Amino acid sequence: MSGPDSPLAGVRVLDLSRVLAGPYVGRMLADLGAEVVKVEPPEGDVTRKWGKVIGPLSGYYTQQNVGKRNVCVDLRADGGAELVRQLARKADVVVENFRPGVMAQFGLDWATLSELNPRLVMCSISGFGQEGPHARRPAYAAVMHAESGIVKRQATVDGTSPADPRVSIADMNAALHGLVGLLSALVMRDRTGRGQHVDIAMYDSMLATDDYAHLALDGVSEGKGVVVNEVWDVVGGPILIAGDFRWVWRRIHERHGVADPTPPGASIPEKSRHRHEAVGAFFASFDDRDKLAQALDEADLAWGEVRETASAFDSPTARARGARAQVDDRAGGTRPVVQSPYRFSDAHSGADPGGAPLRGEHNRAVLGEWLELPEAEVDRLLESGVLLAESTND
């Protein structure tokens, strides 16, 4: 729960986003102590059905929306968009990730909201940015992975057919860059008194967060200059050793005395093949994983277990750092979620144990606190269909 020792205590956030990039920004802001209100449509965020469903909530939705309050508004109903504009007047931050132009259809675009609230910071996350030749194209993480070059590069380096990675890198990159952008805008607002619009394109975020972008900019052929971190089958299961193989060979050769089997006059590919075989044989000589690990450590090689994600949460490091948090599953028990990674020396952050909200669960509380709407007015909005509530207690 947010308190005076939370970094963003007192910051009000209106989260109009759905699925991943925007909701993840809101989740991190909530974990850092901001008061985050998710404005959800009557049909709900599509992710409410993604993953394991416990009681009323799915794992995916829970993970991205822990710690938020929820107001369920039908923007198509008479007065729905106006109600959200009133909330935006009271907010410090608005987060949205609709296709450019959608917010303007409801009078919730930056031009409108900044007139109502000059101190507002608005973060808009889209595929190709708010303006430009492709601004209105549908964009998902997989599209960004393909268009930014990482799908082709991975296939070239691995010698396989192009395939999308099994993680939404583009969404998370854009979310984290969005988080940096809006927090920077809040700091600047403290100096100038004025908010601003933070335009985050997933496309830009992918290029900016690519450590191999310099190769493309310098005209280096696709796949050249990319370090391949190899996976080795060893006793007890595969491990990955980080670094170019030339470094791995040098350390094993020098520290453990593995002889170079390369015949005189061998070509570079032949030399690499022979040395790979020698290193593989050295690893295979161990029938005890702990002894192999000790040998790798003695050679000053960085290596890692090739784990399933489930076991990653049970690793000694994950346990020591509290990478898993328990929150209310809204069905009488608790469920695990990923903990945010921020660890402060003198501040509190982390997942709210109260869990994720139901649709419209906090209609009365938020509208009463932010807008001072009386109970009778909230009742009227519920009866007219402007507000909806999944919770029977609301």
Contacts of 84 (CB under 8 A, 6+ apart): 14, 16, 39, 73, 75, 106, 108
> How many other β-carbons are positioned within 10 Å of the β-carbon of residue 76?
12
Query: What DSSP line would sit under 189-235, residue for residue?
Result: HHHHS---EEEEEHHHHHHHT-TTHHHHHTTPPTTTT----EEE--T
Residues 84-111 as b/e (b if ≥16 CB within 10 A, e otherwise) read bbebbebbbbbbbbbebebbeebebbbe
User: What single-letter amino acid sits at 86?
Assistant: Q
CA distance 388 to 394: 9
The pair of three-digit structure tokens given for residue 383, joined into one six-digit string:
């009866």
171 belongs to the catalytic site: yes
CA distance 326 to 17: 24
Helix locations, 236-393, DSSP H = 245-256, 268-284, 289-298, 309-312, 316-321, 363-371, 375-384
324: β partners = 338
CA distance 245 to 391: 58
8-state DSSP, 288? -
CA distance 86 to 277: 69
Rounded to the nearest 5°, which phi and psi values hold at 257? 70, 25
Catalytic residue among 171, 328, 329, 394: 171
Site of tokens 């520290």? 255
Query: Which SS3 state, helix, strand or coil, does residue 33 take?
Result: coil
| Helices 141-148, 169-192: inter-axial angle, 10-degree rounding | 90
Q: Which residues are catalytic?
A: 171
